[in-house]
Amino acid sequence: MRILITAGPTREYLDDVRFLSNASSGKMGYAIASAALAAGHQVVLVSGPVALVPPTGCEYYAVETTAEMHAACQRLFPECDGVIGAAAVCDYRPRERWQGKRTKTGQPVVLEFVETEDILAALGRDKGPRWVLGFALESQNARANAVRKLASKHCDAIVLNSPQAIGSESNRVEVIDSRGETAAVWETSKPEIARLLIDWIGQQFR
């Protein structure tokens, strides 16, 4: 299969030097890319800014903002069999970006934020015969929120994990299938979870 994988964080700039982002290391997405390559799949990796080297053999696209990741995925997805959305995408961006570097004034600053593009939902709406697998990082009402995202983003499966996964070498995940039922629960290293997930995808969607 030819698999599109998103990984890492995105950034949304307040001015020319300051931005909103998150602590995602990209390790899970890159591990999935490596596992997919090892299993004989073609990999198209779209990554936000991370301190990782792309796996040898993948087709690699570096992006920074959510809009850039969205545009890359919209362009690349039609030529793929499915997508794994492992990126930690910023949900909001400033309505207006200041030009240059904003200096201190001694007064409070009020920022207005708007939602960014929902990349996985957009891909899910137009997936046609392709499959869509998302990641849901949740801290409250975790499983209920993951199942809601499964439906709202038109996913064929979703992987639930927690904030403890950010930056860590291991993870605990629950794979939830299209019926909202638990297909697997794994607690091990990220590379091993990636291998298990690619095997499961191969069985489900080939």
**Is position 22 annotated as part of the catalytic site?**
yes
Helix axes 27-38, 190-205, angle to 10 degrees: 50
Measure the CA–CA gap between 180 and 149, rounded to whole angstroms: 10
Instruction: For 120-132, give the DSSP string.
Output: HHHHHHT-TT-EE
Strands, E assignment, 138-193: 157-161, 170-177, 182-189
CA atoms within a 13 Å half-sphere pointing along the CA-CB vector of 122: 15
The one catalytic residue in 22, 145, 161, 171 is 22
Distances from the Cα of 129 to the Cα of 42, 69, 72, 157, 175, angstroms:
18, 22, 20, 15, 21
Distance of CA 36 to the CA centre of its chain: 16
Catalytic residues: 22
